[in-house]
Amino acid sequence: MTDAERLDTLEFKVAHLERAQQELSDVLVRQQQDLRRLQDRLDRLHQMLENLQQPAQPQDPFEIPPHY
């Protein structure tokens, strides 16, 4: 194998590795965005659940219920 062929092979491999690295970087960015979006959604659902679990406002003990 000549030096020119070896250089071509190395350049080809470097180009392939650079493309693969960029694709992995793009995937990582998308996953981070998805994770952030899911965390926000989980936080909102958690807040909704807490709101549902809060005790109801105490009623006036002297108030007559509506069925009387």
Q: Write down the pTM of the prediction.
A: 0.63
Does residue 38 fall inside a structural domain?
A: yes
* Residue 35: per-residue pLDDT: 98
* Residue 43: per-residue pLDDT: 98
Does residue 14 fall inside a structural domain?
A: no
What is the SS3 assignment for 12-61?
HHHHHHHHHHHHHHHHHHHHHHHHHHHHHHHHHHHHHHHHHHCCCCCCCC
For the cut 70, the answer to whether the pLDDT of residue 29 exceeds it is yes
- Mean pLDDT of the 30-59 span: 90
User: What letter would DSSP give residue 62?
Assistant: T
Does residue 43 fall inside a structural domain?
A: yes
Q: Which domain holds residue 38?
A: 29-54
Q: How many residues does the chain have?
A: 68
Number of domains present in the structure of the chain: 1
